[in-house]
Amino acid sequence: MAGKRIAIWAIVAAVLGLIAYPKIKAARAAAAGQGPGATGQGPGGPGGIPGQGSGAPSGSAPVNAKAAPTTAPGSASPSAPGAANPQSGAPSVMGGLPVTAKVLHTERIDNRISATGTVLANEEVEIRSEISGKIVRIAFLEGSKVNKGQLLVKIDDAELQANFLRAQYQRKLADDEEYRMRMQLKIEAVSQRDYDQSLNALNLAKAGEQLLKAQTDKTELRAPFAGVIGLKYVSEGALVSPSARITTLQMVTPVKVDFTIPGKYAGWVKPGTPITFTVQGLDQAQAAKVYAVDPKIDPDTRTLHLRALCPNQAGSVLPGSFANIEVPLQVIDAAIMVPTEALSADAKGPKVFLYKAGKAEPHSVQAGLRTETMVQLTGGVNVGDTIITSGIIQIRPGAPVTLTAVN
- pLDDT of 29-85, one tens digit each? 655 554 444 333 343 443 333 333 333 333 333 333 333 333 333 333 333 333 333
**CA 341/CA 391 separation, integer angstroms:** 9
Sheet with strand 133-138: strands edge to edge: 220-222, 151-155, 133-138, 239-240
Taking only the tens place, the pLDDT of each residue in 189-198 is 989 999 999 9
Mean pLDDT of the 85-95 span: 37
What is the structure's pLDDT at 9?
Answer: 64
Q: Are residues 198 and 302 in the same domain?
A: no
Domain final residue pick, 306, 331, 356: 331
Q: What is the mean pLDDT of residues 294-311?
A: 96
In this structure, the answer to whether residues 207 and 285 fall within a common structural domain is no
Is 139 within the bounds of a domain? yes
Clarify whether residues 285 and 384 are in a common domain: no
Does 258 share its domain with 361? no
The verdict on pTM exceeding 0.85 is no
Q: What's residue 5's pLDDT? A: 61
How far apart are alpha carbons 276 and 326 in whole angstroms? 5
In this predicted structure, which of 50-54, 174-178, 278-282 has the lowest mean pLDDT?
50-54
In the predicted model, what is the mean pLDDT of residues 255-281?
Answer: 94
In a domain, 52, yes or no: no
Confidence of residue 147 (pLDDT cuts 50, 70, 90): very high
Cα–Cα distance measured from residue 266 to residue 295, given in angstroms and rounded to the nearest whole number: 10
> What is the structure's pLDDT at 71?
38
Return the SS3 of 40.
Answer: coil
The span from the CA of 351 to the CA of 346, in Å, is 7
* Residue 264 and residue 357 share a domain: no
Predicted local confidence at residue 44, as pLDDT: 40
Q: Determine the length of the chain.
A: 407
pLDDT in the model for residue 288: 96
Count structural domains, the chain.
3
332 phi/psi in degrees, rounded to 5 = -110, 120
Evaluate whether 364 touches 348 at the Cβ level (below 8 Å).
yes
- Separation of alpha carbons 286 and 129, rounded Å: 37
Residue 328 vs residues 217, 321, 360: alpha-carbon distances, Å = 50, 22, 37
Among 84-98, 106-120, 124-138, 335-349, the minimum mean pLDDT is found in 84-98
The boundaries of the domain holding residue 376 are 101-106+333-406
Check whether residue 289 and residue 260 sit in a common domain.
yes
What CATH number has the domain bearing residue 359? Answer: 2.40.420.20
Q: Are residues 297 and 231 part of one domain?
A: no
Bridging pattern class, strands 374-379 and 322-339: antiparallel
pLDDT at 331: 82
